[in-house]
Amino acid sequence: MADGKVVFMFPGQGSQYPGMGKDLYDKYDVARDVFRRVADFMGKDFLELMFYGTEEELTDTKNAQPAIYAVSVAALETLRHRGDSKCDMVMGHSLGEFSALYAAGVVEFEQGLRLVRIRGELMADMADTNRGGMAAIIGLDEDSIREVVDRYPDVIVANYNAPGQIVISGGSENLKKVLEELKPRARRIVPLRVSGAFHSPLMEEAAREFQKYLKKDEMRPPRVPIAMNTLGRLTTDLDEIYDALVKQLMGSVRFIEMTLDTYRAGGRKYVEVGPGKVLQGLVKRILKGKDVEIMGTEEIL
């Protein structure tokens, strides 16, 4: 691998699985301390849900978001304790953006956990009010997808994940119609394990409410550049970070652009910090043929 910079990337909703984080809790004191702080903030029952809950319970947005954030931070702090935490840039996918903010020093741990909990509750409320969902379209180009999506006002391209993998989001009725049109042309359509139409116009009210809890004066400039979802590029500007967070709930996750921008900035080693391997797979596709190293925390710890 060519010499270059290290990028820490943090997963979002859909990476959750029953028992996640239990191995960190059992093996590392520093991770155990993080989970104790989570229990103090969320309640002791929350750890029981994380370690022993069902897939259905963990898929619930208000549970999934703080759980993924907790595991990601526990993994990060374990890496730091072991001296493996050198990174030059950070990025997160959707919810993972808040773990990236913590890693960059923009927010404190409990501050980030509070925002994630509020975000999850607001999104869950909107999901209950405005029924919808998300689905990954595999093997179809953006123009072909947008040709159909643009005809339905409550359906949007939500995630630009990788070449040939685009996620759409929207109200149940119109989402079903869009998927019926796309199915004959797509190689595969995969419904996502989420409980609502996230990153779509149906989250507008949640975004307005969430802005009330975002306090720019409680944030600090990042210690390293952070690639923001709605910008699709790196920034160290706190005003840009704040504005991107406000727009994120109903805006698209531009993960392809984020990854390419980190590569242009010298990123050559990509480490997924947190549960699952979703982002590793996406980055491999985005940077196919490039001289990069891609791994997860379980390969380090």
Q: Which structure tokens are listed for 233?
A: 């590029």
pLDDT > 70? residue 1: no
At residue 192, the 3 state secondary structure works out as coil
Q: Render pLDDT for 192-234 as a digit per residue (tens, 0 to 9).
A: 877 789 999 999 999 999 999 999 999 999 999 999 999 999 9
Q: Choose the catalytic residue: 94, 195, 200, 252.
A: 94
Q: Which CATH class is domain 5-128+201-299?
A: alpha beta
Q: Choose the catalytic residue: 99, 169, 195, 199.
A: 199
State the Cα angle at 97 between 95 and 100, rounded to 5°.
130
DSSP strand pairing (132-138 vs 188-191): antiparallel
Residue 61 banded pLDDT, cuts 50, 70, 90: confident
Which residues are CB-contacts of 165 (< 8 A; sequence separation ≥ 6)?
A: 136, 137, 138, 282, 285
Classify domain 131-191 by CATH number: 3.30.70.250
Measured distance CA(223)–CA(236) in Å, rounded: 8
Active site residue 93: no
Among the listed residues 94, 121, 131, the one whose alpha carbon sits nearest the alpha carbon of residue 12: 94
Give mean pLDDT, residues 139-145.
95
CA distances from 276 to 73, 140, 143, 158, 279 (A): 14, 25, 30, 21, 8
Active site residue 94: yes
Q: Render pLDDT for 121-137 as a digit per residue (tens, 0 to 9).
A: 999 899 888 889 999 99
DSSP 6: E
Question: Which is more confidently placed, 65 or 300?
Answer: 65
- E strands, the chain, are 5-10, 89-92, 132-138, 155-162, 165-171, 188-191, 226-228, 233-235, 267-272, 293-296
* 188 strand-pairing partners: 138
- Residue spans of the domains in the chain: they are 5-128+201-299, 131-191
